[in-house]
Amino acid sequence: MTLSRGSLLTLVLVFGGAMLLAVLNLATSPGDALHVPTYVVALTGKYLCYAMLALAVDLVWGFAGILSLGHAAFFALGGYAMGMHLMRQIGARGVYGNANLPDFMVFLGWHELPWYWHGFEWFGFAALMAVLVPGLLALVFGWLAFRSRVTGVYLSIITQALTYALLLAFFRNDMGFGGNNGMTDFKDLLGFPVQAETTRCALLVITALFLCAQFLVARWLVTSRFGKVLVAVRDAEARTRFLGYRPESYKLVVWVLSAVMAGVGGALYVPKVGIINPSEFAPANSIEAVIWVAIGGRGTLSGAILGAVLVNLGKTYFTSALPSLWLYALGAIFIFVTLLLPRGIVGLFARRARVEATDAIPVQTQPREAAG
């Protein structure tokens, strides 16, 4: 697999930027001009987790034509798996001092730990569940949907119904996941305090590594023979089936992979923000992820990362400066990009590069004289 200049630039900016922020946070004192505050490190790490979700959405929407309005469900499930591990690590240091039950279970009158909580005291088990649970849900959902040849807006509505159903389920106190309040008050991860500067910097670099790895896997997939068939399924599914391929199998593979990528992003997201609750399942989160991809550039992978970072950076600023106008601004940006930049920001630069390359080709104005 050969990487384009745009792909190399993406990797350098993601990992190099994360390393630079971590070094400037740890190696400089708060009074220095180059010092990066800890909250900026945590905020950047959150943006990179969102970029994983956007990358997962772009993989299925940009290359398979599957417009998912429920990918936040896989992101949230990965987050809950990590949140359960962090809650088990609290032990007797909780408010109620119960070493066996999380505080919210003691408050709600639970007397024993539910069976599905067992094993989450081990980090390896929690990491496995953060990948396995979203993957299994995507496998079952995708097999039923693609086997029934549900496509287009109908599939989008079903994905939105899936995440909304999970939202309602996790709101219930008797589900054993903290109900409306969710899980919070995390203490440490693998023995390191989650609020420490060194831990936050390490999480930022680890998140950047995982994002780069996911980007490389996605790039390898879409440039392989599998990816070319996937694009054919997106553009002409009936014709691809007529040629002997099984589109539902290709869509199922990329759908499950995309869900796993989103789950990993959710698992890395929770230690940074310090909380996980049912609001992460909200359909609006999935719709926002689609907007990130559209603004950055659908079907480019790099654009998904760029769109997620830029939109959330703008959201952070405008929700504090102009909180009542942020949603209007987001909607206006989405309409503007849809009408004037259908390939997004990255697509605009790619088109400009093609035009410049065309202009650079010398034009032969006079025919050469015949030899002899």
pLDDT per position as a tens digit, 267-307: 999 999 999 999 999 999 999 999 999 999 999 999 999 99
Give the per-residue pLDDT at 81: 96
Separation between Cα atoms, residue 294 and residue 345, nearest integer Å: 9
Separation between Cα atoms, residue 298 and residue 61, nearest integer Å: 8
Phi then psi for residue 251, to 5 deg, are -65, -35
Separation between Cα atoms, residue 207 and residue 140, nearest integer Å: 28
Give the per-residue pLDDT at 365: 45
DSSP state of 173: G
Which of 152-156, 189-193, 327-331 has the least mean pLDDT? 327-331
3-state secondary structure of 300: coil
Within 2-71, residue ranges assigned H as helices are: 5-11, 17-26, 38-64
Cα–Cα distances (Å) from 47 to 57, 166, 193, in that order, read 15, 24, 21
Cα–Cα distances (Å) from 220 to 50, 139, 185, 198, 351, in that order, read 21, 22, 39, 33, 23
3-state helix, strand, coil in the chain (%, to 5): 70, 0, 25
Give the per-residue pLDDT at 354: 55
Q: Scan for tokens 């559209």, then name that residue.
A: 294
Helix/strand/coil (H/E/C) assignment for every residue in 205-229: HHHHHHHHHHHHHHHHHHHCHHHHH
pLDDT per position as a tens digit, 119-164: 999 999 999 999 999 999 999 999 999 999 998 899 999 999 999 9
Sign of CA dihedral 141, 143, 144, 150: positive
Separation between Cα atoms, residue 305 and residue 47, nearest integer Å: 9
pTM, 2 dp: 0.91
Separation between Cα atoms, residue 78 and residue 88, nearest integer Å: 16
Give the per-residue pLDDT at 337: 81
Separation between Cα atoms, residue 324 and residue 347, nearest integer Å: 31
Give the per-residue pLDDT at 353: 54
Separation between Cα atoms, residue 321 and residue 251, nearest integer Å: 42
